[in-house]
Amino acid sequence: MKYFAELDGEQREFVVERRAGKLWVTTGDRTFELDLSLVGDGATFSLLVDGHSYDVVADVERDQVTLQMVGERFAVRVEDERERAAHAVAGNKVGGKRELRAAMPGIVVDLKVGEGDAVEEGQTLVVLEAMKMQNPLLAEGPGKVVRLCCKKGEAVAAGALLLEIE
């Protein structure tokens, strides 16, 4: 089984085989012996890599694998061949539109721009209040506001689309 993993922009190819109860994972010119065992709680794994032990909490949502191990939190994208092919096609559709989304639920306490406004990089677009802090959300680059999707005073959910810039 072949997988493509991506983490922090680095992409690598892995080949996984099940032999004699173990997993043999090859990447580049090296092969690792893995013993991966699921603990009774359904999300924790005991992972042995060539005898080295790791306590891993893993959340697998299709190609998004979120890991807690060695004191770190990793979000790794793992595609199999079929998914990789499908994503390669979909990737061509990406345009010049950028979305500003709420990173957390909160209240829009101020809207600093209107539809049609030109904005500069670093300009405050929206002030979102959450957890008792007022957080100015800034433009990541220059552009024009093409759509406003929130109102001042509105409570928004995490991930809610606030506005679009082109």
Partner 1 sequence: MPHFRRILVANRGEIALRVIRTAQEMGIETVAVFSDADRNALHVRRASCAVHLGGSRPAESYLDIDKVIGAAVATGCDALHPGYGFLSEKAAAAEACRAAGIEWLGPPPDAIVAMGDKVQARKIAMLAGVPLVPGLQEDVDADRLVAAAREVGYPVMLKAAAGGGGKGIRIVREEKQLVEAFELARAEARGAFGDDRVYLEKFVTRPRHVEIQIMADKHGNVVHYGERECSVQRRHQKLVEESPCVALTPALRERMGAAACDLARAVGYVGAGTVEFLYSAGEFYFLEMNTRLQVEHPVTEMRYGVDLVREQIRVAAGEELAPVAEPRGHAIEVRVNAEDPNTYFPSLGRLSRMSLPGGPGVRLDSAMFRGLEVTPYYDSMLAKLIVHGEDRAQAIARCERAIRELRIVGVSTAMPVALRVLHNAEFRAGDYDTGILERIDRSLTPERRELAMLAAVAARFLVAERAGAKSADGDGDARQRVPVWSMLGRGERLWRNRS
**Half-sphere exposure (CA, 13 Å, Cβ side) for 85?**
3
Which residues neighbour 159 within 8 Å (Cβ) at sequence distance 6 or greater?
Answer: 101, 102
Part of the chain binding partner 1 (CB under 8 A), chosen from 62-70, 90-98, 115-123, 146-154: 62-70
Does the footprint of partner 1 cover residue 105 (CB under 8 A)?
yes
Helix, strand, coil abundance in the chain, percent, nearest 5:
10, 60, 30
How crowded is residue 112: how many other Cβ atoms within 10 Å of its Cβ? Answer: 15
Q: x/- binding map, residues 10-49, to partner 1, per CB under 8 A?
A: x-x-x-xxx----x-x-x----x-x-xxxxxxxxxxxxxx
Least distance from C-beta 155 to partner 1, angstroms? 9
CA 46, CA 49: separation in Å to the nearest integer?
10
- Binding region for partner 1 (CB under 8 A): 1, 3, 5, 7-8, 10, 12, 14, 16-18, 23, 25, 27, 32, 34, 36-49, 51-60, 62-63, 65, 67-74, 76, 78, 80, 82, 103-106, 109, 127, 129-136, 158
